[in-house]
């Protein structure tokens, strides 16, 4: 049986162009592969940390500007203005994040699923939004960040493996998104809308949000996408590379690389 498995592992066939191709994986006992897999077996694209920050900044800025553009001119108060902005962001930013995750995973299926999951997250955000802006900007992004990492998470063995870990890391990523946005907005907003003590009009508030809000969302989204890659497992190739470099070589491989010498030959 062992000899048959060894021959099966090393079996090759001629592709017709003079080259031989491996027909089986290195492990003869590995399960068969199929044309459609819920979790793709291919490695995610290797996106550098700098590229993740850049793409995150672009996604954040684009989402915020589009969300601002869809705020109706008939808004009567800054509070209503901010709630509509938050709702618009909830329907724009998560689907873009889902499309990005699908591209990283080399899967059109996951891109479509990510866009659909983003819309569901937007609906949940719309339902949860209230008048407590601390919850709108920090608490809800934490919960929805955890849900995003779970829904769009990728694992090499099973999508179900590591759900708790992905959710916890997603909570942290969502907290960074919400807290960074709130902190950056509080610091930069007075510079663009300084009329605070006397009260501000919708026009003043809108001017402040166009500039300060765009900056805050750009910064927070850049940091979030970097953490999202880790929380959702999109950087698994780095973990596997580290693990493979630390794995000891099996005796079988050592025996093939360094075959024993016959007695009396050094």
Q: What percent of the chain has pLDDT over 70?
A: 65
Q: What is the pLDDT of residue 203?
A: 84
Q: How confident is the model at residue 24 (pLDDT cuts 50, 70, 90)?
A: very low
Residues with Cβ within 8 Å of 84's Cβ and at least 6 positions away in sequence, in order, are: 71, 72, 75
pTM for this prediction: 0.70
Q: 220 and 184 in contact (C-beta within 8 Å)?
A: yes
**Average pLDDT across the chain, whole number:** 75
Q: 170 and 232 in contact (C-beta within 8 Å)?
A: yes
Taking residues 153-172, report their average pLDDT.
76
Indicate if the pLDDT at residue 38 is higher than 80: no
Taking residues 18-31, report their average pLDDT.
45
Structure tokens, 10: 């090393």
Q: How confident is the model at residue 260 (pLDDT cuts 50, 70, 90)?
A: low
Taking residues 32-40, report their average pLDDT.
46
Q: Quote the CA–CA distance of 67 and 90 in Å, as a whole number.
A: 9
Taking residues 207-234, report their average pLDDT.
92
Q: What is the pLDDT of residue 58?
A: 97
Structure tokens, 204: 């003043």
Q: What is the pLDDT of residue 13?
A: 42
Q: What is the pLDDT of residue 29?
A: 42
Q: What is the pLDDT of residue 157?
A: 52
CA distance between the termini of the chain: 34
Q: 214 and 64 in contact (C-beta within 8 Å)?
A: yes
Q: Quote the CA–CA distance of 68 and 234 in Å, as a whole number.
A: 30
Q: How confident is the model at residue 259 (pLDDT cuts 50, 70, 90)?
A: low
Selection from 207, 205, 144, 149 nearest residue 178 by Cα: 144
Indicate if the pLDDT at residue 53 is higher than 50: yes
Indicate if the pLDDT at residue 87 is higher than 80: yes
Q: Quote the CA–CA distance of 142 and 64 in Å, as a whole number.
A: 19
Residues with Cβ within 8 Å of 260's Cβ and at least 6 positions away in sequence, in order, are: none
Most distant CA pair in the chain, distance: 98
Q: How confident is the model at residue 218 (pLDDT cuts 50, 70, 90)?
A: very high
Distance from CA of residue 136 to its chain's centroid?
Answer: 21
Q: What is the pLDDT of residue 236?
A: 60
Q: Express each pLDDT in 106-128 by its tens digit.
A: 888 888 988 998 898 888 888 87
């Amino acid at each position: 049986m062992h000899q048959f498995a060894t021959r099966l592992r090393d079996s090759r066939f001629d592709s017709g162009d003079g080259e031989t191709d491996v027909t089986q994986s290195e492990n003869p006992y590995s399960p068969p592969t199929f044309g459609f897999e819920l979790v793709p077996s291919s490695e995610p694209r290797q996106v550098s940390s700098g590229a993740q920050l850049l793409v995150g900044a672009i996604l954040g800025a684009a989402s915020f500007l589009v969300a601002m553009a869809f705020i109706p001119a008939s808004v009567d108060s800054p509070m209503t203005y901010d709630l509509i902005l938050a709702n618009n962001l909830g329907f724009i930013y998560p689907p873009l994040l889902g499309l990005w995750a699908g591209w990283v995973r080399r899967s059109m299926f996951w891109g479509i699923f990510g866009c659909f999951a983003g819309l569901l997250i937007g609906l949940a955000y719309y339902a949860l939004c209230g008048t407590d802006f601390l919850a709108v900007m920090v608490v809800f992004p934490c919960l929805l960040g955890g849900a995003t990492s779970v829904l769009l998470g990728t694992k090499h063995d099973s999508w179900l493996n590591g759900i708790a870990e992905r959710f916890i890391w997603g909570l942290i990523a969502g907290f960074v998104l919400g807290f960074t946005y709130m902190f950056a907005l509080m610091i930069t907003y007075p510079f663009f809308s300084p009329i605070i003590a006397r009260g501000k009009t919708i026009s003043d508030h809108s001017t402040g949000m166009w500039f300060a809000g765009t900056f805050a969302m750009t910064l927070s989204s850049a940091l979030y996408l970097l953490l999202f890659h880790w929380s959702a497992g999109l950087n698994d190739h780095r973990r596997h590379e580290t693990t493979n470099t630390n794995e000891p070589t099996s005796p079988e491989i050592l025996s093939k690389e360094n075959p024993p010498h016959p007695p009396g030959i050094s």
